[in-house]
Structure 1
Amino acid sequence: MIYNTAKAFAEREIRPHVRERANDETFPLAIMAKLAETGLLAGPFPEEYGGAGIDNVSYVLLCEAIGGASPSVFTAALTVQLSLVSTAVCNFGNDEQRQRWLPDLFAAKKVGAFALTEPNVGSDPAAMELTARRDGDDWLLNGSKFWISNGAQADLIVVFAQTDPGARHKGVAAFVVDGNAPGLERQNIPDKMGLNASNTAGLFFDGVRVASDRMLGEAGDGFKIAQTSLEAGRTSTAACAVGIIQACLDACVNYAKQREQWGKPIAGHQLIQEMVAE
């Protein structure tokens, strides 16, 4: 049921404009809003926070259907907004934090980003260079993140920072930072080889002040939060890959049925059938 609904949505709202959005590098905010209107942006999260409460198999089918039409829309709306950001907030935020952020994420009223990767260390939490230093009741963030999907568009960003460099991964914490926080500079990365309709950015933190009530869990929980969220992201990304492969197969079969050679569709030739089957 959910696959058919998502597939119909993708064919109606996404596929007709894929090339145009990729060429213009148009962030799919309007598509995210339409996904939210149909309930497809709520995912496998509790209904009390605005989620759809669907099971994981249904969510994978949703990712497959949307990913097969546009990996860019899938990346922005499902991998980042849901699998990464919403998983982090839902699994590790307290009830007040869930109530504060999740409904707006599921309604596409806010765009989320997941800031883990850094220029020098990649996605290795143990070697993280962005620091969080305690300052009274707040934390001051200094450092940079790179290749952050949704980064230039995000209203809220889950940022991972090192609170105790000597503790390595045991010192990492996760904060939810406003996208317009003073001291935060964002630079869009244009002209990518792919995913052109989802934006990717570098984030630069210069004394960004974050209140303590914006930390998810405790200082030191960041590594666990990152790993748990990435597991959800990997599952959805694998589903997207299946969707892309299915879309390729569908395109091949449709072409073979329409293209004629020697008076009949090439789908009737055994060699073509073998190529499609393999």
Structure 2
Amino acid sequence: MSAAIAALAASYGSGSGSESDSDSESSRCPLPAADSLMHLTKSPSAKPSLAVAVDSAPEVAVKEDLETGVHLDPAVKEVQYNPTYETMFAPEFGPENPFRTQQMAAPRNMLSGYAEPAHINDFMFEQQRRTFATYGYALDPSLDNHQVSAKYIGSVEEAEKNQGLTVFETGQKKTEKRKKFKENDASNIDGFLGPWAKYVDEKDVAKPSEEEQKELDEITAKRQKKGKQEEEKPGEEKTILHGNIFFIHLHFYEKPSYLLLSLPLLSAVIKSLC
């Protein structure tokens, strides 16, 4: 420090001029080129005393095991990679209802359960559904298509009785045919019947039995009573004269005419008519 103060005092001395300048230049010490750039270089031995190492992933004490993997949305219809079984059937995130039963907690896409699309013909499905609703039996849907479909569910006895008849099929009705007199020999001119032969139990005259005849008689008697009218002799003429009403109406509702009799004679005419 004393040397620096002395150098400053010499430079700001009373004397000024070339002599002072030459003296100051001679007093300065020239620096080498390496030392002049030393302040721009970093010293390798210099280390900060408070330096702390930065760790981007420090070790942390974890109480629970971490779940690794990708969680799928249950509403996703298509997955672009091959997930594991644990990923596909992992439980859903979110709060759970503790009062739900096991049946209600199961995954479902409709109110009554989970319906999966099946590769079955619509006509065959509707046929078996209507057959079960009508007859009480249907083919077992658990069997594969390549197996023989001869196993039924529901009323198996009814299925064996009807031989697996469905609602879209008609069974063979066994009807007893009426027997006819057979005479198909065309050479028999007098006795040949052919397709015009009569039935064995055919009746030519239809006559009601005794009970049917009584019922018919009762019906006809009732009809005759209802439709019975008073018989009148033909050619007999009958007239009814309402004299009082005729003359009263004629007097009050028609204009007077010169053909009318005088009022005093009206009573005598009416009495004679009655």
Task: Give the TM-score range, shorter chain.
Answer: under 0.3
Structure with higher Rg: it is 2
More helix by share: 1
More strand by share: 1
Relative contact order, higher structure (CA 8 A, sep 6+): 1
